[in-house]
Structure formats: C-alpha cells, structure tokens
Structure 1
Amino acid sequence: METSDVIVIGAGFAGLTAARELSRSGYTTMLLEAKDRIAGRTHLAERLSRNLELGGTWVHWTQPYVWAEMGRYGIKALPGPEFTKALWTVDGQRHEGTAESLMELLDGPNRLLLADSRRYFPMPWSPLDNPDVADIDGLTLSEAIERLELPDDQRRLLRSFWTLNFNGRLDQAAYTQALRWCAVASGDWQLMFEACASFKIDGGTRRLAEAILVDSTAELRLNQRVASIDQDGQQVLVTTEAGKQYAARQLILALPLSVLNDIDIQPALSPGKREAAARGQAGRGAKLWVKVDGRQERFVAFGPESAALNFVQAEYIDHDTTTLVCFGPDAGAVDVQDVAAAQAHLDAIVPGLTVLDVAGHDWVADEHARSTWPMHYTGYLTRYLAELQRSEGRIRLAGSDFANGWGGFIDGAIESGLDAARHAASALGNGATSPLQAPASVG
C-alpha cells in the first residue's frame, strides 16, 4: 500500500489544478487517473489529418481562472474564425444571410430571455446569495422561452440556439443556468456567446493540461480504475479494480457528477450527493467533426432544435477540403464513425456538401464521463449545489459540475480545483480533518 498526504482522483483540469496546488505547498500528492491520458472531458487528438478538440475547447478573457493559468505558463489565446455567411432553417424553410444578420435576429429574443440575469445573480460567483433564485430554479429553459410569446420564427431560432448551448433538451434544461452564464459575462448575452466560441488555447487544451502537470510534483498514475473508497477517523483508503491500494489523510474526488455513484464509497456520500449523481447532467449531446469536399465559404448554420445536428460551422478551410464542427442534442442520434449518416444529417441543414470523413468521441457513452459539458437540470442549483460543495470528512468533490462561476467550462473546473485544494490544505495544515458529518437530507 502506498501512502501520501492527499489523493486526487481524476486528472482533468480540476484534478490537475488541485494536485499542483497541494504538491507545490509541500504535501505529498498522488494523482490517480482511470484513463491512459490526462485532461478529462477535453481531448486534443489527431483526426482527419489535423489536431482536433474532441471535447471542451473554448476559453475567454472573461473567464478569470483559465485566463490566469494561460498567462502563468505563457500560453496565448487564438481567435476563432470570422464567419461571412449564416444559414438557418425555421419550420422547414431555409434562410441565408450574413453572420451579423443572424446575430441581429437572436439579439432581441436573447435580451428578453436574459434580462433578469443580474437581478437573480448580482454576484455571479456567489450563485446562492439571492434567495429569490429558488423561485425560478424549477423553471425549464423551454418554459422560459415560451413565456416570451415571440413570433414563431424567432422562437424556433432561439430554441435552437439554446439547444446548442446546453447540448441537450430544453424541456429538461435549467433556466437558472442560462441566467448564470449571462451573469458571469456581465449580463451581456453577446459577450456570453463570444465566451462560448471565440478563443482557443494556442497548442490546444492538452498543452495547458500538460503545463499544469509539469508544474506539479504530484505522482501521476494512469490506468487506475478506482473501485472503492473507505474513510475513517485516521485516513482514506482507495482500492483500485486491480487491487492496488493507496492511503492518505485527505482525498479530492475530481470526477464528473454522472460517474460518482460508480465508486463504492464508505461511509456513503450523503443522499443529496448520490441523488444528484444519479440524475446527472443535461449535457447529453454530440460533437462531430466532418470533413467535406471543396473549399467552402466560412459559414455557420442552425437547424431545428430536434435535428440530429442542429448546428454546423466551417472551422478549418484548406486548399480542397473544409472541416466542419457540428453539434446535436442527443448523442444517441449521432454515430461518430458513420460517414453516410453524417451525410444525411448535414443534408438536412446545409445541402450540397459531400462528406469525406468524420471523427468524434461519444462522451455520453464514455464510462468515465457519461455527459458532455456540465449543463444543469432544473433544481440543480438550489437543491444540490451547496450539498455537492460540502466536504464529507476527508473527501471533497471538485470539477466544472460543482463550480460557482463558469460551470460547464474549463474555467469552472480550475476554479473548483483551486477551492478543493485550499480546503484540503487547511485540513492538512491543522493536522486533522472535520469530523464525519451526518449525511444531509435533500428535501
């Protein structure tokens, strides 16, 4: 059995950040990762003859944690492409215009939808400070949009826009998370949208993840699938599926919410944590890269919210091919290896293109993720977030799922990792930990 001051389970951005902070503070730190790579739900890989981000990608200067990390390691941000043409399909009718004209169509409806973002979240990084939030946390984004009583074409386009943002179904999506996203972008929906898809990390997400790892003295162990975690008044004992055991005084569980219940944790996590993990997240869609024939105009396209792929944009334009990035709300409707199916999906939004090859990763089917970027169901914020952030004895959760600010982004993962490391260091510095608390009920 190997021993250390702290064990961090999960080498995504939250786990990497926590491990770096603790190890650089002088605590012996073991970083366990079930996969054969680091970086969690980001994954830069060579596909379609170039390096493509199969998972999380975007960063922005309004996101303080990731922007500071990039500055720390001298990593620049690369601006995304400027689009010249926009296509959108509403009620079976295809429309074409400039990218600016599409933004103008979305502007009024989004202003109405998000007008109360700073009312409910005046301090965006303290999302539970306003008790009035509880009044709207049961409202779906679908219901919030329908209440606006927009003209049908604007309503349908707005629904497709937010289906893209949630990467899932709007009748399950929390209106509060849409408001939170806008609030952390200073209440400006266009700035929010810019943050969602405007700047990439120079060298890719892997470069930043590796920079954090190199800056750490934590010992990384890959291919360590954790089966159980047992804690008592003295230590936390981790046992892998292969029978390897690790012991420590503190443990940070930096895993996606949807996989927490896969580990046998004793004493069990609180009913609230287990209930939230069983429910999971609303981000259960698809991201698909498609290479098409010919040098295409740089375009963006929205399809119906129910389409297998409801958003397409021309990301890389080469001499005789163009690589598109596409999103859809249901991972089960998109086979990331099926060229013929991709052709059919694309024909429904942008007809006339010839698909040559496809690439992607099914994060919903991935046993280590079971969701794409963390997007909340109704009730998550007021029913679960505080409970998920509460440590239980020697165990604390970390990840973008549990962030106060930019939840669903790399920034949120780093924020949560820093927070978890600070609490673990405080307990380690005291030479003890808070006593095991009675499981909190959720009612």
Structure 2
Amino acid sequence: MTWKERNAMSATQEVDVVVIGAGFAGLIAARELSNAGHSVLVLEARDRVGGRVWTTNMLGHDLELGGTWVHWVQPHTWAEMTRYGRGIVRSPAAEEARWLGTGGVPRVGTLEEFLELISPGQQLIINRVREAIPRGPEPTAGQIAQLDALSIADHLATLDLDEEARSANESVWVGHVNAPLTETGMSTAYRWVAATGGHWELMHEASATYRVAGGMSEWTRLIAASVRGEVRLNTTVTSVTQGDAGATVETAAGEKIHTRFVVSTLPINAISGIEFTPPLPEPWQRAGRETVASRGSKVWIKVRGPVRRFFGYATPEHPISVLKSEFITEEESILVGFGPDHTRLDGTDLGAVQAAVDAIRPGLEVLAAVTHDWMADPLSRTTWMTHRPGQLTRDHAGLQRPHGVVHFATTDNADLWGGFVDGAIESGLREARLVGERLGPTTV
C-alpha cells in the first residue's frame, strides 16, 4: 500500500510539504521545494502574503508598516532582489539632527555634529565584536558565550560617557533593537555589527537607509507567484500532529492535510498559537515562555506643511525614541517614529502622538497617524528578533534543529542577519535544502 493510500481515509489532501506562513521564509522554502518537483501547500492565516512586511498606501504614500530597509551587505536579500528585479530607493538624507543634551535640554545640530557626539560611544559599545563573534555567519562562535549574559544597558553602564553622549547612544540603540536596553542582550548588537565586518557605521546604514523600490509587498507577491503550488490565504493552522507516516495539519475550518514534512515559519513569540503533538522541543518552549526582547512600536505620522529633513532622538523612556522625516511635499510631511514599548503609545490617539512628536521636534502639527501593533497581532507577537541576555548561545542551535518531520524556518533562527529579511530568506533556503534531502530526488 502506498503512502497516499494509507492516509487517504484520514486526510482530505496529501502533499509532500506543508509550509505554515507566507512571509519571506515560507515563500522561499516553498519556491525551492516546489521547483525541485515536490508538492507544496503554503497555509497563511492573513489575507495577504508577506508576514511582518506590509506595504500599505495610506497618508498618500506607500508606507511600510513592518520591515523596511535593505542593503547589499545582506547577501540573501541582495540575491533575491536581483532575481526579482528589485531596485533600491534611498531614504532622504537629513539636513539637521535633534537630540537631548545635558539635563534634557533640546539640541539642534548637523549630522556631522551628532556623529561626532556618538562615535566614541558607538565604538566602545562594540569594541569586543571581533573576539565576541569573529565570523558573522557563526553567531555562537568566539567569546560570545562569556559575554551573552550582558544586556546592552549593562555594557553601557561600564562606559565612561558624559550624560549627553550616553543619552544619545542609548537612543540610537533603542532604535535598532526596538526594545528596552535593559532587556536586550549585547549578543544582538555584536551579531549585527559582526555581519558588517565589525563596522558599526555600516551596520547603521544597512538597517535604516535603503528601501525596496516598489515596496515590500510587491516583492513578496512576486515570490509567491513563483511558487509551483498553492499559496492559500485566510487559512489558520491550529494543530500539527506527527504520526508514523508524516504529519496531519489541521486548520481552524476543520480541514485536515496529510503531509510528509512541515516547515513552520512562525516567530518564537507566536508559535504557541499552534498545538504540536508531540510538543515542541524544550528550546522552542522555553524561548516562547520568555519571549524575545523586541516589543516596540512603529508609527507613520503626517504633519502639516514641508519640514526640513531631520532625524531626532529622545530617550529610551520616551514613547517615541527615534523620529525621522521620510516624505516631504509642499502640503505635508510624513515622519516615521520608533519606540521601545508598544504600550507607551497609542498610535490612534493623535493627542498622544502629538505629545511624542513635540518631545523631539516641537512646532509641528500632527494631522494623522498610521500604525500596526505587531505585538498585539497574534500571528507575530513581536516586531523583529532581538535576543534577551543569554538566549542566543543557549537556544540558537536548538531552534534550528528539526523536530521529527517538522522543520523551522524563521529569521528568529537565522545565522547571519537574524531579525532582518535577510535572515528569513536564509532560513527558508536552509530548511528547503534539508527537507529536500530527506524527501529525496523526484522524477520531475
């Protein structure tokens, strides 16, 4: 009796691989496996592809509610952009910088003056990167095991910085990690700087300078179109049950799909939304209980009239710690802000948004705001991956390890650019290769 015959009475559909989630990791894994001749079904709970990237036309512009910036030092990202003919658009260069000086006194200066302020501290923060993580693609090699217990705040406390430089450097890193610095491991800072060869300036550029021409959603749509199999939207997976001949995936609608392998692309914070039998391995359960550090917010803000191009920093205690201009016309300007804690700012409350803007760039009139609370979204429950102290070296290998016929592809367990689109693509490629090896060759 064949595999399909054994399971025909217990499942409504049989495929070689079910991919849970149609973000970058899931779409890349599905494309690779389907191109190799395997039958693949992608199940996506949202009504769109893309996962934590989402381009929406609001406030009169194409706005990225999730992941935004890319760079050519991110090898998997650049390869996929080349494959799909995606160019880059530079975010506007700032004409002025704003930050808080000693005693919280607002300061206005040039980009060069701000860089002069933060440069010594930025270098001190990452001085040990080459011994901590000597090679970017090997994030747990080197001395990181001895340093992984440190938070970014712990490390900053040891540095000899004056009040103004300390505040500026804290706010810069809050913008990067989208979380309180007391809860974010130095491992996150080290691994991202290691990915850019130890150069913090290049890491800053890679994480906040170039957008994808045409938007992230169009890029993921093109990838989805190249999957040789069904990408089924509005389909929530509720359980994955492994048996002697693969696994049965059940949806909220009661449908059962039998499959030889499953690729889960859910982030650490959201994977508990699916019941796995047998239960997930301890690294996944433990990380899911703790959650990762990121819990911040991103909000797009329309203000009246043209604004001189700027970036500004408040403090980690402010609801918006980082604010910068992105689109400017004669009638209006569109700003984007980031904060370390999504509970500190209601992006739908224009009064609260106005107060947060006033703390960094007073004199602007807020007209509208758009945001998506990724922390409240049950399919993400996080923004982008930032490790808590100790999580990287303790759990990284275990989060990559297959669990029976279930494989895990997510930026949360990527080696090089964890937390970025590049990490999602890397993990999708990795797990597609591993699953393909286990499936064996096809006749297609």
1:38 matched residue in structure 2: 49
**2:171–2:313 Cα contact (<8 Å) kept:** yes
Cα deviation for residue 233 of structure 1 reads: 2.5
Match of 2:367 among 349, 356, 363: 356
Q: Which amino acid aligns with 2:110?
A: T
User: What is the CA–CA distance in structure 2 between the aligned matches of 1:387 and 1:266, rounded to whole Å?
Assistant: 18
User: What is the CA–CA distance in structure 1 between the aligned matches of 2:126 and 2:219, rounded to whole Å?
Assistant: 32
1:332 matched residue in structure 2: 343
> Per the alignment, in what secondary structure is the counterpart of residue 372 of structure 1?
coil
Match of 2:332 among 321, 325, 336: 321
Q: Which amino acid aligns with 2:129?
A: S
User: What is the CA–CA distance in structure 2 between the aligned matches of 1:128 and 1:375, rounded to whole Å?
Assistant: 15
Cα deviation for residue 129 of structure 1 reads: 2.5
2:288 matched residue in structure 1: 277
1:289 matched residue in structure 2: 300
Match of 2:140 among 128, 131, 138: 128
**Correspondence 1:395 to 2:406:** yes
**Correspondence 1:109 to 2:136:** no
User: What is the CA–CA distance in structure 2 between the aligned matches of 1:38 and 1:279, rounded to whole Å?
Assistant: 28
2:208 matched residue in structure 1: 197
Q: Which amino acid aligns with 1:170?
A: L
2:104 matched residue in structure 1: 92
**Correspondence 1:378 to 2:382:** no
1:439 matched residue in structure 2: none
> Per the alignment, in what secondary structure is the counterpart of residue 166 of structure 2?
helix
**Correspondence 1:346 to 2:346:** no
Cα deviation for residue 396 of structure 1 reads: 0.9
1:258 matched residue in structure 2: 269
User: What is the CA–CA distance in structure 1 between the aligned matches of 2:414 and 2:76, rounded to whole Å?
Assistant: 11
Q: Which amino acid aligns with 1:178?
A: A
User: What is the CA–CA distance in structure 2 between the aligned matches of 1:210 and 1:260, rounded to whole Å?
Assistant: 24
Normalization by structure 1: what TM-score? 0.95
**Correspondence 1:26 to 2:25:** no
1:118 matched residue in structure 2: 130
2:86 matched residue in structure 1: 75
User: What is the CA–CA distance in structure 2 between the aligned matches of 1:208 and 1:99, rounded to whole Å?
Assistant: 32
User: What is the CA–CA distance in structure 1 between the aligned matches of 2:347 and 2:105, rounded to whole Å?
Assistant: 27
User: What is the CA–CA distance in structure 2 between the aligned matches of 1:270 and 1:407, rounded to whole Å?
Assistant: 20
> Per the alignment, in what secondary structure is the counterpart of residue 423 of structure 1?
helix
Q: Deviations over 1:377-419 (max 9, x none)?
A: 1111111111000001100111111110111110110001110
> Per the alignment, in what secondary structure is the counterpart of residue 162 of structure 1?
helix
**2:100–2:167 Cα contact (<8 Å) kept:** no
Alignment of 1:238-257 (within 5 A): 238-257=249-268
**Correspondence 1:223 to 2:234:** yes
User: What is the CA–CA distance in structure 1 between the aligned matches of 2:115 and 2:25, rounded to whole Å?
Assistant: 34
Cα deviation for residue 430 of structure 1 reads: 7.2
Cα deviation for residue 256 of structure 1 reads: 1.2
User: What is the CA–CA distance in structure 1 between the aligned matches of 2:253 and 2:223, rounded to whole Å?
Assistant: 28
Match of 1:407 among 400, 415, 418: 418
Q: Deviations over 1:97-151 (max 9, x none)?
A: 0112112211111111111112121111011232x22111111110011111211
User: What is the CA–CA distance in structure 2 between the aligned matches of 1:126 and 1:211, rounded to whole Å?
Assistant: 31
User: What is the CA–CA distance in structure 2 between the aligned matches of 1:136 and 1:329, rounded to whole Å?
Assistant: 23
User: What is the CA–CA distance in structure 2 between the aligned matches of 1:294 and 1:286, rounded to whole Å?
Assistant: 25
**Correspondence 1:235 to 2:246:** yes
1:168 matched residue in structure 2: 179
User: What is the CA–CA distance in structure 1 between the aligned matches of 2:188 and 2:253, rounded to whole Å?
Assistant: 39
**2:132–2:147 Cα contact (<8 Å) kept:** no
User: What is the CA–CA distance in structure 1 between the aligned matches of 2:434 and 2:251, rounded to whole Å?
Assistant: 25
User: What is the CA–CA distance in structure 1 between the aligned matches of 2:397 and 2:381, rounded to whole Å?
Assistant: 22
Q: Deviations over 1:215-258 (max 9, x none)?
A: 11121111111111001231110001110111111110011110
User: What is the CA–CA distance in structure 1 between the aligned matches of 2:39 and 2:283, rounded to whole Å?
Assistant: 31
2:158 matched residue in structure 1: 147
User: What is the CA–CA distance in structure 2 between the aligned matches of 1:19 and 1:218, rounded to whole Å?
Assistant: 8
Q: Deviations over 1:3-38 (max 9, x none)?
A: 100010010100010000000110000000011111
Find runs of 4+ consecutive structure 1 residues off by over 3 angstroms: none
Is the alpha carbon distance of 1:126 and 1:167 closer, same or farther for their aligned partners in structure 2, counting shifts above 3 Å?
same
Unaligned runs of 5+ in 1: 432-443
**2:375–2:381 Cα contact (<8 Å) kept:** yes
Indicate the larger mover: 214-223 or 190-199: 214-223
Q: Which amino acid aligns with 2:205?
A: E
> Per the alignment, in what secondary structure is the counterpart of residue 176 of structure 2?
helix
Indicate the larger mover: 16-25 or 94-103: 94-103
User: What is the CA–CA distance in structure 1 between the aligned matches of 2:430 and 2:254, rounded to whole Å?
Assistant: 31
Unaligned runs of 5+ in 2: 1-11
User: What is the CA–CA distance in structure 2 between the aligned matches of 1:122 and 1:146, rounded to whole Å?
Assistant: 24
User: What is the CA–CA distance in structure 2 between the aligned matches of 1:39 and 1:249, rounded to whole Å?
Assistant: 25
Q: Which amino acid aligns with 1:228?
A: S
User: What is the CA–CA distance in structure 2 between the aligned matches of 1:113 and 1:233, rounded to whole Å?
Assistant: 51
1:438 matched residue in structure 2: none
1:436 matched residue in structure 2: none
Q: Which amino acid aligns with 1:30?
A: L
Cα deviation for residue 270 of structure 1 reads: 1.2
Cα deviation for residue 349 of structure 1 reads: 1.4
> Per the alignment, in what secondary structure is the counterpart of residue 171 of structure 1?
helix
2:3 matched residue in structure 1: none
**2:100–2:164 Cα contact (<8 Å) kept:** no
Q: Deviations over 1:153-207 (max 9, x none)?
A: 1111111111111111000100011011101011000000000111110101012
Match of 1:10 among 1, 11, 21: 21
> Per the alignment, in what secondary structure is the counterpart of residue 301 of structure 2?
strand
